[in-house]
Every structure is written in structure tokens, then in C-alpha cells.
Amino acid sequence: MSLDDAKRNAAAAALEFVEDGMTLGLGTGSTAAFFVEFLADEIADGLLIKAVPTSETTRRQADAYGIPLIPVEHVERIHLTVDGADEIDPNANLIKGGGGALLREKIIANASDLMVVIADASKSVDVLGQFPLPVEVTPFGFTITAKKVFDALRQTGVARPGVRLREQASGGKPFLTDGKNYILDCKCGSIPNPLETAAALANIPGVVEHGLFLNMARTVILGDDEGAEILEFES
């Protein structure tokens, strides 16, 4: 399977959820980038929408394609958010944040009438946790926070957690989110109790947000070489 073809097929299928007059949340990541590209083509053909990006990377891409953007402070309603995921379980629970935009992604997704997740089929898993769970933390006291994160993972059933500070691609310096925070990438292997883990992480001072997106996605589109499968979940 060509991953790029699978991602393109998933992104293209999400266009059927877009209608004139909508305000859209634009996700971050490689699959979401294809959606932004396809959305620009629809706008060139006359589609009228406004959009709110979930990262500076997406903002730059959307701006380059001429997609009308509005500041999040001016948004009254977000009808639809289309975003990717790093893992998707059978209940449409997600791990997100591989691209470092989990905080803004969660704010926009939570404010949306509908969240549509687009991904290649390899992102579908039986149990969350093979992809390292991102946890966004404040730089101040991050070593203390990291120890608390480790303890929370252990206490909620993760057998052998590993917590490491994400570094910039060039190495040496910590990766900074758009909000100037750090990210702890937490190797879990398996997260047997996502709800308990999410609650435990949220209660740690210094944790800004975590990459468990639970009970947020109502539609999941999984792409492969031949097309895309659309899965609907109850609210």
C-alpha cells in the first residue's frame, strides 16, 4: 500500500462533509495537509468557507493556497473539523500530537459540531499505545512533571512506560510547540485504560494537555490504495 495514496484517498473522501458557508477547523499533519490541498481546489471552483488552522504549519499552508482564514478569537461556531490521527482504536478514540499541535487541535476539535478523522488504514489499532503518547508540558519544572507523568501511566495500567523529552529535528534543543511548551513522548506499548490515563494526566500540575482524544471523533475515514472507508460512531 502506498501511504501517500491512502492518505490522499482519505482526505478526498472528507470533502463530502464540507458545505457552503461552513467554518472549518483545519488539522495538522501529513494527511490533513492533503485535505487542505484538496479544499483549496474546491474553493477555486467556487466553494465558500472560512477556516481556522490548528497550527502555524497549517496556517502557512492554507494561506499559501488562498484559503480564507479567520482568527480563532473571531469564531462563533465551527461546523466541521477535519484532522488526522496517529492511532485510532475500534471506539474512535485517538492518539494525536505526533506533529506537536495537540493542544490547538483539541481546542478546535472540542469546539466543533463534528470532528472527522482522516488517516491511512495502518493507523487503525486494537488498543492505543504503540505510538508514543504526546503530553504537552510547561518548560518550568518539566523534569518534576515528567516523573509525575511516569507515575500516572504506571498507576493506570501501563506496564513499562518510558518518558522522554521531544527534541528538535536538528537535535540537542527541546522541541517547542506553537504555545512555546515542551512535549514528553511517552512510550506505553499499550494503554489499557485510556479514560483513567487521560484523567490522571489532566490532574498533574504542569501538564498543559495530553494526546488522548477520547469520545471526540464521530466520523473516521480510513484510506487505502483503492479508496476510503467511512465509519460512523454514535455521540
- Active-site residue list: 105
Phi then psi for residue 70, to 5 deg, are -130, 145
Give the Cα-Cα-Cα angle 93, 176, 188 (nearest 5 degrees): 40
| Inter-helix orientation angle 142-155/194-202, to 10° | 150
In the sheet with 207-210, reading across from the earlier edge strand, the strands are: 162-165, 182-187, 133-137, 207-210
Separation between Cα atoms, residue 14 and residue 36, nearest integer Å: 11
Separation between Cα atoms, residue 153 and residue 191, nearest integer Å: 8
> Which helix (DSSP H) or strand (DSSP E) does residue 83 occupy?
strand 78-83
Q: Which three cell numbers stand for residue 183?
A: 512535549
